[in-house]
């Protein structure tokens, strides 16, 4: 198995956690996003969307998009550490929390968006951080906190073992903290984030613990 | 079954198509997004994230987030018109195309984002439309087109029957056209969009065919 990875990509961070939880080893190739390696012809041959991560399974199957990769890993390795519950209602809840992060927060605050706001639209760093980044973290985390408090959460986002929802939560909290966001209004999010970071599978996947860290 | 809906919400448009494809009837309650009805206490009790759509199943199960709703409908009604293929690799591909739209394009261009750019960050309409909206449609659709051309597409995004990927594609193309985006560089996207709109299930779900249209 092979993972195209970048230490600071939140989407790759998710897949690193998922692989760790499932005890799967993957060879790594690092795609340097700040140098725009993801737009090279070679990498576009691997991932036509030009984004990180990409997973190549042992049988050659290529999977892109972090949530699709996690569900694929869970469907093809159901016996090892489930990332998704069995019941349809529970699965819907885990997917909803995951998507509340991966669709409603992360896309607004990633590198390419901040670059466009700065380089093309002329927003200064203060406007980008205070009026944009923190706004979406606050609004998004308010929604996630409310979903979590609405039933179903245990020690983790769903019950007492980590699922795909926790795998999405931790990289988002990590990013928000890196940008200096105040997350004290989201006690359930923060409690679960701490519970996750007690687990080696999550800590080992942290950006600062990656070989390509700069 | 009940759907909390809004004619112009792309995410609700997706669920309307999915319900039509699966031949499922749902009572409707309309949540007027421009009037911010989604932030009312009553609706926050239904959907703590304050977003549309929300599905309430006959047994009372509540599901939020459009992709989670579609997978839930498919898991609980597997015998009626599958929205997802059976094989794990194919499922991953359908999810990846869906997420390339629902995570990488749609969140950047929805109403709340355009509002913030205009009201808080002072971007004029021309900057919002030309430098923001069209930029993300172009970059995003380039990725979707490349994914579709990389194998797996048939008459539809995956093979010759509509899946969740097509259900995500059509509302995104609809929005892009509404904002005057030139989509001629994406012939596969446009060919599939036309094939979908030949189907009553898609046409019936169009915003202009909804009772709450203004």
Q: Å from B55 to nearest chain A CA?
A: 11
A40, A56, A81 - which closes a domain:
A81
Judged on CB neighbours under 10 Å (0-12, 13-18, 19+), B160 is exposed
A162 shares a domain with A104: yes
Residue B147 lies in a domain: yes
Neighboring chain A residues of B106 at a CB cutoff of 8 Å: 103
- A171 and A117 in a single domain? The answer is yes
Q: Is residue A211 part of a domain?
A: no
Distance CA A4, CA A152 (A): 33
Alpha-carbon distance of A65 to B140, in angstroms, equals: 13
In a domain, A213, yes or no: no
State whether A49 and B107 contact (CB < 8 Å).
no
Show residues of chain B in contact with A100, CB under 8 Å. Answer: 49, 64-65
Total tally of structural domains belonging to chain B: 2
Domain final position from A31, A59, A81: A81
Same domain, A54 and A120: no
CB B131 within 8 Å of CB B162: no
Predicted confidence at residue A46, as pLDDT, reads: 96
| A121: nearest Cα among B14, B116, B62 | B116
Burial class (CB in 10 A: 0-12, 13-18, 19+), A1: middle
Q: Model confidence over B169-190: pLDDT tens digits?
A: 999 999 999 999 999 999 999 9
pLDDT digits (tens, 9 = 90+) for A96-111: 999 999 999 999 998 8
Measured in angstroms, the CA of B148 and the nearest CA of chain A are apart by 9
In a domain, B125, yes or no: yes
CATH (domain of A101): 1.20.1050.10
Q: Is residue B63 domain-resident?
A: yes
Q: Do residues A47 and A97 share a domain?
A: no
CA distance B206 to chain A (A): 22
CA distance B46 to B27: 15
Q: What pLDDT is recorded for position A6? A: 98
Give CA separation, A88 vs B16, B65, B83, B95, B166, in Å: 20, 14, 15, 17, 22
Is residue B101 in some structural domain? Answer: yes
**Is residue A209 situated within a structural domain?**
no
Whether B152 and B74 share a structural domain: no
End-to-end CA, chain B: 25
Domain containing residue A109:
88-202
CATH code where residue B47 lies: 3.40.30.10
What residues contact residue A151 under an 8 Å CB cut-off, 6+ apart?
A: none
pTM equals: 0.97
Same domain membership, residue B76 and residue B100: no
Does residue A54 have a pLDDT over 90?
Answer: yes
Last residue within a domain, chosen from A81, A97, A131:
A81
Contacts of A113 in chain B (CB under 8 A): 108
Assembly ipTM: 0.97
Q: Does A126 share its domain with A159?
A: yes
Is the pLDDT at A85 greater than 90, yes or no? Answer: yes
Residue B133 lies in a domain: yes
């Amino acid at each position: 198995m092979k993972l195209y990875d970048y230490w600071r990509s939140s989407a790759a961070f998710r897949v690193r956690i998922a692989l760790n939880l499932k005890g799967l080893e993957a060879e790594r190739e690092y795609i340097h996003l700040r140098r725009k390696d993801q737009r090279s012809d070679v990498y576009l041959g691997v991932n036509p969307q030009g984004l990180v991560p990409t997973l190549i399974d042992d049988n050659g199957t290529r999977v892109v998009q972090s949530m699709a990769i996690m569900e694929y890993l869970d469907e093809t390795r159901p016996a090892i550490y489930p990332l998704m519950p069995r019941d349809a209602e529970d699965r819907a809840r885990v997917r909803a929390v995951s998507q509340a992060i991966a669709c409603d927060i992360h896309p607004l605050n990633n590198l390419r968006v901040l670059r466009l706001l700065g380089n093309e639209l002329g927003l200064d760093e203060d406007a980008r951080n205070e009026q944009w980044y923190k706004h979406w973290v606050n609004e998004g985390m308010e929604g996630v906190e409310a979903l979590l408090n609405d039933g179903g959460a245990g020690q983790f986002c769903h019950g007492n073992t980590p699922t795909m929802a926790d795998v999405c939560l931790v990289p988002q909290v990590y990013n928000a903290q890196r940008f200096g966001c105040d997350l004290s209004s989201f006690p359930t999010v923060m409690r679960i984030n701490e519970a996750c970071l007690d687990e080696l599978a999550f800590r080992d996947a942290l950006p600062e613990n990656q070989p390509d860290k700069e």
